[in-house]
Amino acid sequence: MSTFSNSVKVGLFLGVRQLRRTNRSTTILIISIMTFTFLNLVVVSGILVGLIVGGNIANRNQYTGDVIATTLSGKTTIDHSQNFISTVAHDPQVTKYTARYLVGSTIEANYKTRTNFSNKANSIGGQLTGIDPAQENSFSNISKYIVDGTFLQPGESGYIVLGSNLLDRYSSSFGDSFSSLKNVYPGDTVKVTVNGNTREFIVSGIVKSKVSEVSLRSFISNADFIQLSNRTNLDVNEIGIQHDTSITDLEMKDRLIADGFDATAKIQTADEAIPDFLIQIKTAFSLLGNLIGAIGIVVGSITIFIVVFINAVTRRKFIGILKGIGVSPLAIEISYLLQSLFYGFSGSLLGSIILYGLLVPAFNAHPLNFPFSDGILVADVPATLIRIAILLVVTLIAGFIPARMIIKKNTLDSILGR
C-alpha cells in the first residue's frame, strides 16, 4: 500500500479518535460557533432578500398573477380587450384570470354632516377599480385582506371597498405626505365622482394589503363602474393571468405576443412587472447580506484557526512523537483536517436543520412586518449548498494552516518542547 493511502488511513484513525475523546464541552462550543456562523451566512442575506421577495410574491399573488397585461403608454384602455379576455378565458393552460377597469376618481366622505364649507372637504383622489368580485376574489383572494366589513358580493350594486391607505387611521404612518379620508367606516356612505358623474356608494369593507395596487385603490363592481364612467366599449385596463405549471411565465407572455396582443397592451411577466427600484434594492440587500455573511465566515474561520492552533500547540509534543515514530506529516495534517471538517460539517448540518426545520417555517408562518412587504426568509437549497461548500473550504484552510505550522517544526524540538 502506498505511503499516501497509509497516511490517509492513519490520519483518519487519529482524527476520529481525537474527536471522539476530546473534551465534549469544547466540541459543543466549536460546533455552536460554526452553527451560528452558518446561520449568519445564510439567514442574514436570506432575510434581507426575503424582504423584497416577500413583496414580489405578494405582488404576484394579489395583483399581477403570473402575467399581466396593462394599458399601453399614451392609451387610456386596452383596445379590443374583450378579444384578449376571450382568448385568455379559452386557453387551457390559463387557470385563472381577472379583468380590471381603472379610472381616476374622487371620493368624498362625511359630506352630509359637513357644516363649515370653508374647510377642506373630507375627500381623496385615487384610482377606482371595476371588478367582477367573484372572479377577482378567485384570482387574488382579495377578501382575505378585508380588515373591516365585508368584500363585494356578486350581483349586488351600490357598494364600494376602500383600500386601507386611503383612510386616515390606516395610513397615519405615511405622515402628512398623502391626504386621506377621515372617520370612514363600513356602512358609511361616500360620494364617488368620475369624469363629472357622481354617485353614492355604501362602504362595504376596508381592504388592507402591502401591495399598493390593492391598498391605494377603491373597488366597485363592473356594472357600477360602467354605469358611473360611461365606458360603453367594455375595454379594460388590466388583465391578470395565472397559468398552470406546464408553461412558464415567459412562454405564456410570448404566446400572447405571438397572438398579436402586444399591439394593444403592455404584456409583462410578474417578474418584469416588478419596479426597477425594487430589483435594485434586492441586489443591494443581497450584496449586503453576502458581505455580512462573509464577515461571519472570517470570524468563524478565525475561530477554527485559533481552536486548531491551540490544539496543535498544546499537542506539539505528541505531534513530534508521531513524527518520531515514523508517522508522516501528511497523516497528522489529515487528522487535523478531519477535525476541522467535522466542526464545519456539524455546524452546517445543525444550522441546516435549524434553518429548514425551524426558521423558514417560522418566517413563512409569521413574516417580518415590513412597511412595504411581509418579509420571508429566502433560503433556496442550491444557494445554501454553495454556502456550505464555502464554509467547509474556509474551515479546512483554517484548520490546515495552524496544523501545518506546528507539523513543520523540528521533530526533536517538538518532542522536547523547546
Partner 1 sequence: MITATGITKTFKNGDVITNVLKGIDLTIDSGEFVAIMGKSGAGKSTLLYQLGLLDDPTSGTIVIDGTRTTDLSVDDRTAFRLNELGYIFQDYALLPELTALENVMVPLLMQGKTTQEAKDIAHTSLVRINLGHRENNLPSQMSGGEQQRVSIARAVAHNPKILFADEPTANLDSESGQAVIEIFKDLHKQGQTIVMVTHEKEYTVFCDRVIHIADGLAV
Binding residues for partner 1, rule: CB under 8 A, are 1, 3, 6-7, 9-10, 13-14, 17-18, 20-22, 317-318, 321-329, 331, 410-412, 415
In whole angstroms, the minimum distance from the beta carbon of 306 to partner 1 comes to: 20
Pick between residue 18 and residue 123 the one whose CB is nearest to partner 1: 18
- The least CB distance from residue 336 to partner 1, in Å, is 13
Please count the CA atoms within 13 angstroms of the CA of 266 that sit on its side-chain side.
14
Q: How far is the CB of 376 from partner 1 (least distance, A)?
A: 45
**What is the closest distance, in whole angstroms, from the C-beta atom of residue 359 to partner 1 in the complex?**
36
Q: Which is nearer to partner 1, 332 or 398 (CB)?
A: 332
Rg (C-alpha) for the chain, rounded Å, is: 32
Of 368 and 415, CB closest to partner 1: 415
User: Which residues 6+ apart lie within 8 Å of 104 measured at CB?
Assistant: 125, 126, 127, 128, 194
CA atoms within 13 A on the CB side of 211: 22
57: left (phi over 0), alpha (psi -120 to 50) or beta: alpha
The nearer residue to partner 1, 129 or 414, going by C-beta atoms, is 414
Nearer to partner 1, 15 or 293 (CB): 15
CB of 6 to partner 1, least distance (A): 5
Q: Are 107 and 121 within 8 A, CB to CB?
A: no
Q: Minimum Å distance from CB 14 to partner 1? A: 7
How far apart CA 139 and CA 63 sit, in angstroms, is 9
State in angstroms the smallest separation of the CB of 7 from partner 1.
8
Task: Pick between residue 22 and residue 198 the one whose CB is nearest to partner 1.
Answer: 22
Taking the least distance from each CB to partner 1, the nearer of 22 and 172 is: 22
